[in-house]
């Protein structure tokens, strides 16, 4: 099926009358509802903010009108719970070569753990990504976008990806984290 000038004019006319894409597709024949929607979009026709087919064709309108019914007894419905608006998640992509955002402040980590990390990082092996194994500490140090980036490389603590000093910073007991927030 091709969109001839005649078919496009019929589409525009029916769309302007408020016909639904399904009704237009049936009228044109050999075209789907989605094809009609796509053509409407490409032609830049209005979105009809009222939505849907409010003014059906006269033949269909007569059929679609329901017969009046007796008032139905009120039935309890589900309580309507208003939706709580969510703040949109904002993710900032940092291009390579740009500085990383500020990391957690030092007051969130115990001073003992920080002192231990400082000492360990002075004696660490400073290995690259390709030199990491399951037995080397995988704690990253520095900005990955710079040449001065490395991994600790010391022996890992059993069952953990980091050495003893970095485990002390990365894995803190729940109670101490809870106490810091107060």
CA gap 155, 158 in Å, rounded: 9
Out of 18-32, 77-91, 167-181, give the one with best mean pLDDT: 18-32
Is the Cβ–Cβ distance between 124 and 97 less than 8 Å?
A: no
pLDDT at 96 over 90: no
Among 114, 113, 115, 149, which residue's Cα sits nearest to residue 132?
A: 149
**Which of the four pLDDT bands, split at 50, 70 and 90, describes residue 57?**
very low
Cβ contact 155:144 at 8 Å: no
Q: Does the pTM of the predicted model rise above 0.95?
A: no
Res 56: pLDDT: 45
């Amino acid at each position: 099926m091709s969109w001839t000038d005649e078919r496009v004019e019929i589409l525009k006319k029916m769309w302007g009358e408020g016909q639904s894409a399904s009704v237009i597709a049936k009228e044109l024949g050999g075209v789907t509802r989605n094809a009609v929607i796509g053509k409407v979009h490409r032609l830049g026709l209005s979105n009809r903010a009222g939505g849907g087919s409010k003014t059906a064709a006269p033949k269909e309108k007569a059929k679609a009108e329901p017969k009046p019914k007796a008032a139905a007894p009120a039935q309890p419905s589900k309580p309507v719970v208003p939706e709580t608006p969510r703040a949109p998640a904002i993710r900032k992509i940092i291009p390579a070569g740009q500085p990383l955002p500020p990391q957690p402040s030092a007051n969130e980590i115990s001073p003992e753990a920080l002192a231990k990390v400082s000492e360990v990082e002075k004696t660490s092996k400073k290995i690259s990504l390709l030199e990491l194994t399951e037995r080397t500490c995988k704690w990253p140090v520095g900005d990955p976008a710079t040449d001065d980036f490395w991994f600790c490389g010391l022996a890992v603590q059993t069952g953990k990806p980091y050495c003893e000093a970095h485990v002390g910073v990365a894995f803190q007991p729940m109670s101490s984290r809870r106490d810091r927030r107060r």
